[in-house]
Amino acid sequence: MKKTLIGTVASDKREKTLRVEIARRFKHPKYGKIVRGRTICQVHCEGDAPKVGDTVEIIECPPKSKTKRWELVRVLTTAVVAGETA
């Protein structure tokens, strides 16, 4: 079974590569406070790339390059840009 994660696109400046942040909340091991953390994944994306702010689903894959270990499965939701009309 390959691991799948859901995160938001943080950067789409590179060709065929996205930077996706997976947010998480956890209890601090010593102090017990709920803190926020994030995991950053480099994602391989062919064709139409999602834009910054979109929520995407990614899946594990064999290494594509030095840092890319994930592939884009699908775009779940698109980000709403201020000032844009339908």
Predicted confidence pLDDT, tens digits, the chain (86 residues):
999 999 999 999 999 999 999 999 999 999 999 999 999 999 999 988 899 999 999 999 999 999 999 999 999 999 887 766 65
What residue spans define the domains of the chain?
Answer: 1-47
Tokens 């590179």 correspond to 14
Q: Which pLDDT score is estimated for 85?
A: 62
Tokens 């790339």 correspond to 49
- E-assigned strands of 1-86? 4-11, 17-27, 34-44, 55-60, 70-77
Helices (H) and strands (E) in the chain, counts: 0, 5
Q: Which pLDDT score is estimated for 50?
A: 92
Instruction: Write the CATH number of the domain with boundaries 1-47.
Output: 2.40.50.140
How far apart, in whole angstroms, are the C-alpha atoms of residue 86 and residue 84?
A: 7
Report the predicted TM-score, pTM, of the whole model to 2 decimal places.
Answer: 0.84
How far apart, in whole angstroms, are the C-alpha atoms of residue 52 and residue 81?
A: 10
